[in-house]
Amino acid sequence: MSTSAEDRSALLAIAVDIAREAGRVAAEGQAGIDVLDTKSTPTDVVTEMDRAVEELIRERVLARRPDDSVLGEEGADETGSSGVRWIVDPIDGTVNYLYGREDWAVCIAVEAEGRTVAGVVAAPVRGDLYTATLGGGAYCNGERLAVAPPVPLDMALVATGFGYSARRRAQQAEVLRTVLPRVRDIRRGGSAAVDLCGVARGRTNAYYERGLNPWDWGAAALIAQEAGARVGGLHGAPPNPDLTIAAPPGLFEELHDLLAGLGADTDGPEEG
């Protein structure tokens, strides 16, 4: 289905309604988690909340758009006939969520003809609602977003994140050992979506990470792009699980070339 600007705004409006409701439910759930309570298992509580929020989003989407497809981090995989697909991360930044921290978000991207046409990242504890439509700009709480003015790599504040497996982390640390002395500084916020929105908002200059999935970057990559960032993988590829980089043009290429030379899109040499 090809979409007009009106279609994209209409899809965004639905995504915003649903993300707001999901954000409220998740934030109420977070208030009830006590990570220091050793008698219960807080990780299970987070997993349950993740699933419940995804189910809420799936139900709300299909109630309003019964012919659409829905793909979610927690397993939602509904195939519809309309050519429109909703990509959902119920809680991006689950470790932050577990520890009562602010930087986590409900992410909803809407795809048509294989392209993201609308996206929302709701970070309810921060009170930040990021939105974008393809060709329509990016906003935070209604205010237009623009990336920070271009800087060379050695002046760039660069956000990144780490995967969950020990082997991947060892390689990520190895890459970071070379990156860190070449940039202004590094930030590790704990939510890929909020990190990408940070680039869109000019709160960092760049972001890179290996191991993201479409639900982590879907909505936030559109927001960063619409704010003026280039978002992609290595050698002209779109964002992908091997590596996702976001930065204004110029800085993107500098960071890209450094990361490509370091094998940042790999888990390092095979052991044994």
Using an 8 Å Cβ cutoff, are 231 and 209 in contact? Answer: no
Among 15, 148, 192, 200, binds ligand IPD (CB under 6 A): 192
DSSP for 78-126, written as a single string: E--SSSEEEEEEEEE-HHHHHTT-S--EEEEEEEETTEEEEEEEEETTT
Which of positions 206-235 make contact with ligand IPD (CB under 6 A)?
A: 209, 211-212, 216
Distance CA 57, CA 65 (A): 12
Of 119 and 211, which CB lies nearer to ligand IPD in the complex structure? 211
In the residue annotation, 92 being an active-site residue is answered as: yes
89 is catalytic: yes
On whether the CB atoms of residues 260 and 233 are closer than 8 A, the answer is no
> Which is nearer to ligand IPD, 84 or 255 (by Cβ)?
255
Query: What is the DSSP track for 170-190?
Result: HHHHHHHHHHGGGSSEEE--S
Candidate list 73, 102, 128, 195, residue with the active-site label: 73
Cβ distance to ligand IPD smaller for residue 68 or 103: 103
Q: Does residue 94 carry a catalytic annotation?
A: yes
Binding part of the chain for ligand IPD, among 39-47, 157-165, 224-232, 262-270 by CB under 6 A, reads 157-165
When binding is defined by CB under 6 A, the residue of 69, 94, 133, 244 that contacts ligand IPD is 94
Q: Does the annotation mark 216 as catalytic?
A: yes
> Does residue 161 belong to the site contacting ligand IPD (CB under 6 A)?
yes
Length of the chain: 272
23, 29, 72, 93: residue in contact with ligand IPD (rule CB under 6 A): 93
β-partners of residue 244 are 209
- Angle (nearest 5°) at CA 120 between 127 and 59: 105
116 near ligand IPD (CB under 6 A)? no
